[in-house]
Chains A and B, each alone.
Chain A
Amino acid sequence: MEELIKKAAEAKGLPAAMVERSAAARAKAEGTTLEAVLREWAGEEAGAEPAAEGEAPAPAAEAPAEEAGEAVETPEAETGPKVEVLGPRSAEVAEGGEEPGATAESEPEPVAATVPTGAPAMTGFPRWLAAAFMVIPTIAVLYAMLAPDGPGCGVAGQLEIDPVTGEAVNCDGSDYGEDVVDFFTMGDDLYVARCAACHGATGGGGAGPAFTGGAVLTTFPAGSCSTAEGHVAWVAAGSSGWPTPTYGANAKPVGGVGVMPAFGESLTAEELAAVVLYERVNFGGEALADAETDCGLTGDEVTATP
């Protein structure tokens, strides 16, 4: 045994203690005996080795030619392994390319069997990493293909550029930060979604009172949109939350025509004001500018001076 170790150590050019330890680990990893591994390393057993060595690109010719190799290499040969390094296959290209069909995982391991360390065989690479190679470049390429010039207006915070002033503006060309929202349209949408079921799509009434024919402005006249007992307050509180038995300028009884739900929780203050604005303008015939002022929805008010 001692002799075998010495022989293997000589063949490897490494200290005996190290070779013994490495061989033990190798034997364990491969499920063979220590002696078999040592024999293999010492070169006494010529099994599958020569075939593997024959496949390798002549090491002896390559080894001393470090500087010479540089001069001989054509640029084309250089770019071969380099350009393709993004995929797992390139590793084989770099390796010599004798086995184009073999994949990294299924590569037979006769070569690795001679690694002179106590390490587990470490050729090839983990499968999850191989998957990452595929996935990451794919994502990158997809990004380039889907948005070569970046996302369009409205995506990722991107805005339009006003051709005259050069400033960033909304995608429709309106100024950013001023009247960003069209409250009338917003109110229209909210009315259709939340109110039309009881008050009718055209404000003609149903389970709830009608708004048309001046009815809205009779109950909540101009100037009472956002007052304490005004239009917005009524929509927010509903009939169950209303503090007094009557509401509106004409003292209509609470619960007289159906039950008014409270929208104060489900709509924001801005949405409440917008839907009230819509009712007053569309069904009551109030001027938009007046109603905006009345309901506190003028664009100017949210604009602070820097």
Chain B
Amino acid sequence: MTHNATPEPELPTEVPEDLFADLPGYAPPQVTIAAARPYLVVALGFLALSLVLGLIAATHLVFPDIFSGMLGYGRIAPVATDMFVFGWLTIGLAGVLLFAVGRLGRVELPNDRLASNSLLLLAGGVVLGSGAVALGAGEARPLLEYPLWADAVLLLGMIGFALVITRTASGATRDMGPVGWYAVAASWWLVLAFIVGNVPGVGGVGGTIQIAFFRSTITGLWLASAAVGVVYFVIPRLSARPSFVSTRLSLLGFWSLAFVWALTSPATLTYGPVPDWVETVGVVFSIGLLVPVLVIATDLALALRGRWQVASNDITIRFVVLGGALFLVFPLVNLMLALRASSGVVQFTDWVTGVDAVAWYGAFTAWLIAAVYRVIPELTGRVTAARSIRLHHALTATGLGVWAFALLTAGVITGWTWVANANEALVPAAGDGWFNTADAVAWLGPVKLAGFGVFAIAQFLFVASVLGGRSASYTAPLVVGAPVSAPDPELVLDRTVTLGRVRAGAVALFVLAALFVWVVPGLETRSTEPTLLADSSRQPDKHSVEARGREIYIQEGCVVCHTQQVRPIVTDVGLGAVSEIGDYVHESPALLGTMRIGPDLMHVGSGEPSSEAAWVAAHLADPRVERSFSLMPSYDHLSDADLDAVAAYVTSLR
């Protein structure tokens, strides 16, 4: 690959707007633009709100005594994360995609009522779901905490949005290239992923596999795909290249992403109580994920080749580059969770949050921000000052860098401390063993908080400056797609990839992946015989005090910080019998958990002093009396009866 180092002298550094404006017969699609505007405004509102809640959660991990009850970590952390993913990223990406399809395809929305009603349902679903989880109606299924009725509202909004995108795209008068593929495919993947994630009544390990599948599909097939589509829209604008050049590389990137990403889903289950072959599939495709990511990143970089001079005039390019760098990092940090050797160290630690930080808070957010800066002036007629964009970028990159780095570092330290504990025959789950871990990473707590704080403040500034920017006459640059009527020979390739084909292929690949890494292993785990443990201690009688305790355990979000699974590896020595698929067959949802901010509770009832219900109840009411290093919120807002019920449930876990 040769890089053209000498800038083309005839290229003007400032591309005159009229270069784009003088196309014959062009009129911006006003209805589409009007429909996209409220999406972005709502998304920005959710961004600010979710980061306020995120700050409460982050503060909690350093000063655990400040918040409890509705603002306790177990309730507020999932609310903040879900709102960030569904409120900010989902609605924001939806708005930009809508705009991009209308603008590139030069087409008006066939039905703007559907677009605004979909937004209403999406936003309503997020608000209702968040409220429900905060009030204690959460489902204890990571990223799927919203109760089913809130999910239904959200799903209707997603279907509406997918219909809007599909109908708009099918009326396009110009070929939209990759933007079209990603917009159409991603919007249906969103619907499918959400349906699969919320199929009710899947208990046991099958439910855990279902959640893992949802997590990777919503991350890869919706958020990543939509964000990549958005960048394919933004880059030609930044580089003032009037038509994207879609290459075979774009196509390869798209289909390999479609094929690989969903199949990486068992990556988060390594060493867990799932069939071995499922873990191996997760590892294999987590390695394979490097292919689409490398291809897409290369394709985007090539689209900027020779046009850096133009693109770098716009400060927004910095967010594109930031997002691109993190997009490249993601498959690597994710692979560490999947590979068996490294997952034994980083699984269940802050590393898990670090992966989310790199993807959701990092790559996708940075790309969406870049798009918002490019789109908002056209939507609202307000222009953000370059100075504030520069500041926003500096604070975002710094905050995110510090936060993500501290999370990943804390993850590695925590994992190694667990291994060291095991080697010194200290049980990592309690007493001295847990203290060693808490002590080793305590210094990173304030660093994480500071990093996240800077990141959050940067986004508050962003929301304020974008919504309150100065009005200015703004001539939007026009980015045109290739004309459909007279196809450019180069784009003949794209014409064989009709959007109908894209949609059919996307759905087919999704269904195959769902069968392979959810349905088949799910059925396998379902037919597993219950173990002795499942029959004895993991099945509280209905209406028993233990069953009530389990309900409160779910309501308070204990599963956010506590796992209930023991792996057959050095890290988990001393935690008791290794967990098997059969242990969970009676449970729905199975409370396996994803993080150990607190100790594992699989067999906590057979440890000392946690086998005494009175001690557990006292510990819940005031965690730092006996354990000064505990990060658990105080649960003294619960009644004595409820505390006793939780204690009875916890001590029943033997």
Contacts and interface: CB of A to CB of B under 8 A. Distances in A.
Say whether A and B bind each other. yes
Contacts of A304: 424-426, 432
B22 interface: yes
Contacts of A303: 425
B280 A127 contact: no
Contact of B572 (A17, A28, A165, A168): A168
Contacts of B10: 21, 24
A177 B423 contact: yes
Contacts of B567: 168
A222 interface: no
A202 B244 CA distance: 81
Nearest to A25: B8
Nearest to B427: A306
Contacts of A15: 19-20, 22-23
Nearest to A29: B4
Given A15-B19, A75-B508, A114-B488, A306 B431 contact: yes
A112 B252 CA distance: 18
A61 to B, nearest CB: 9
A140 B284 contact: yes
Contacts of A86: 256, 259, 288, 291
A86 to B, nearest CB: 6
Contact of B255 (A28, A85, A127, A306): A85
A14 B23 CA distance: 7
B245 A66 contact: no
Contacts of A73: 500-501, 504
A122 B294 contact: no
B541 interface: no
A133 B249 CA distance: 12
A167 interface: yes
Given A125-B248, A168-B568, A148 B276 contact: yes
Contacts of B605: none
Given A14-B242, A104-B248, A304-B432, A156 B344 contact: yes
B570 A69 contact: no
Contacts of B23: 14-15
Contact of B500 (A17, A57, A70, A157): A70
A197 interface: no
Interface string A2-40: 000000000001110110010011001000000000000
Given A86-B259, A140-B285, A118 B498 contact: no
Interface string A112-155: 10111111101111111100110011011101100111110001
A53 B489 contact: yes
A42 B568 CA distance: 70
Nearest to B340: A156
B259 A63 contact: no
A60 to B, nearest CB: 8
A53 B488 CA distance: 10
A1 to B, nearest CB: 16
Interface string B285-309: 1011011001100100011011100
Nearest to B22: A15
B148 interface: no
Contacts of A56: 489, 492
A178 interface: yes
B410 interface: no
B1 A176 contact: no
B505 A82 contact: yes
Nearest to A169: B573
Is chain B's interface secondary structure helix, strand, loop, or mixed overall?
helix
Contacts of A14: 23, 242, 480
A65 B498 contact: yes
Given A59-B492, A132-B291, A168-B569, A17 B19 contact: yes
Contact of B252 (A57, A85, A118, A168): A85
A140 B282 CA distance: 10
Interface stretch (A89-97, A186-194, A247-255, A263-271): A89-97
A79 B426 CA distance: 54
Interface in B310-326: none
Nearest to B434: A306
B463 to A, nearest CB: 35
Contacts of B433: 306
A161 B283 CA distance: 23
Interface string A50-81: 00110011011011111101110101001101
B493 A95 contact: yes
Contact of A13 (B249, B486, B490): B486
A177 B495 CA distance: 64
A149 B281 CA distance: 10
A126 B252 CA distance: 13
Given A13-B486, A112-B490, A157-B570, A119 B256 contact: no
Contacts of A17: 19
Interface string B547-589: 0000000000000000000111111111011101000000000
Contacts of A124: 247-248
A174 to B, nearest CB: 12
A117 B246 CA distance: 12
B255 A82 contact: yes
A145 B481 CA distance: 45
Contacts of A70: 498, 500-501, 503-504
Contacts of A140: 284-285, 287-288
B298 A125 contact: yes
A59 B252 contact: no
Interface string B498-523: 11110111001100000000000000
A147 B498 CA distance: 40
B343 to A, nearest CB: 8
Contact of B432 (A64, A125, A141, A306): A306
B341 to A, nearest CB: 4
Given A75-B508, A304-B424, A149 B498 contact: no
A47 interface: no
A177 B574 contact: yes
Contacts of B294: 129, 132, 136
A69 B290 contact: no
A71 B247 CA distance: 26
Interface string B210-233: 000000000000000000000000
5 contacts: A18-B19, A18-B242, A78-B501, A122-B249, A158-B568
List of 6 A-B pairs having minimum Cβ-Cβ separation, nearest first: A70-B500, A166-B577, A177-B425, A85-B255, A156-B341, A91-B248
Interface of B: 1, 4, 8, 10-11, 19-20, 22-23, 170, 241-243, 245, 247-249, 251-252, 255-256, 258-259, 276-277, 279-281, 283-285, 287-288, 290-291, 294-295, 298, 302-303, 305-307, 340-341, 344-345, 419, 422-427, 430-433, 480, 483-490, 492-493, 495-501, 503-505, 508-509, 533, 566-574, 576-578, 580, 607-608
Given A85-B251, A85-B256, A122-B247, 7 more contacts: A59-B489, A73-B500, A86-B259, A94-B251, A120-B306, A150-B340, A168-B578
